[in-house]
Structure 1
Amino acid sequence: MPDVTTSAVVPADAEAVWRVVRDFDGLPTWHTAISASELEGGARGDQVGAVRHLTLADGGAVREQLVALDDRERRLTYSILESPFPVQDYRSTMRVEPVTVSGECVVTWSVLFDCDLAEAERLSTLFGRDVFGTGLSDLVSYFSPGE
């Protein structure tokens, strides 16, 4: 079962970043690989159980469900319901933690999933670098003044 974690220092305080990250429907606001998000059934972006339909920049589609949202810990967890990726039991968590000395924060994006052993390395790279790495770089840019 691959376990992938990617993190980045974001040049903004944890509460400001958390307000953006916690919006389950807000991924296209800051992640360039996501062109659209739509919540199903009139759900809210902070409603545990909400299902979002993501349209990827390459035209692919993913359905994900918000499994947990913890404002105190600044952590959200979601699972994939449908995707073009050959994975099962995909559960991903984003967490925002303050760096108290600088006023910045660290955002960690991790995933645990099942897949065929032959696909584990490719999928770990895809999620860790292409999805999470790109997304976290985009989040840094979103909060970087003058960029």
Structure 2
Amino acid sequence: MATAQACIDLQINADRIWQLIGGFDTLPDWLPFVPQSALSEGGRVRTLKSIDGDTIIERLLDFNEAGRSYSYTILQGPAPVRDYQSTLRVVSTSEGAQVHWSGSFVPVGISEAEASAMFATIYQDGLAALKQTLES
């Protein structure tokens, strides 16, 4: 199983960050490469559209409001992986907050290194976009 992770330090209150990213349907509010999201199954499944026109369907596995985190799995999408599980978490720090995005998955047709690099880039680019959104 391959893994990837990214973390960013922000000088912004953790509750403010969680308010923006904590909803399972809020990716379009801060992630420019996912401009559309629609919830189904009582808010437990989201159908995303990427800027490339791809459809990604994800299921919420765990939601922890007090812990400011949620975990999800990809049910369908273009990524060359299976058994994908990811967690997005906001942690308070003395200077603001850290946002952690991590995942594990089994590559299909590519190496573990390629899959890990692909998702590390997605997470890093996503967290950079989050920072830009919060600072604008």
**Paired AA for residue 127 in structure 1:** F
Task: Answer 1 or 2: which has greater strand percent.
Answer: 2
Give runs of ≥4 in structure 1 deviating > 6 Å. none
In 1, distance between residues paired with 2:111 and 2:37?
27
- In the other structure, the counterpart of 2:54 is 60
For structure 2, which runs of at least 5 residues remain unmatched after alignment?
A: none
1:106 to 98, 102, 105: 98
- The answer to whether residue 128 in structure 2 is matched with residue 141 in structure 1 is no
- The answer to whether residue 118 in structure 2 is matched with residue 126 in structure 1 is yes
What is the root-mean-square deviation of aligned Cα atoms in Å?
1.4
In 1, distance between residues paired with 2:3 and 2:109?
13
| TM-score normalised to structure 1 length | 0.87
What count of residue pairs does the alignment treat as equivalent? 136
Deviation for aligned residue 1:117: 7.2
Deviation for aligned residue 1:119: 2.9
- What does residue range 1-147 of structure 1 map to in structure 2 within 5 Å? 1-41=1-41, 43-44=42-43, 50-100=44-94, 102=95, 104-116=96-108, 118-129=110-121, 131-144=122-135, 147=136
- In the other structure, the counterpart of 1:47 is none
| TM-score normalised to structure 2 length | 0.93
Q: Identity over the aligned pairs, expressed in percent?
A: 29
Contact 1:7/1:136, CA 8 A, preserved across alignment: yes
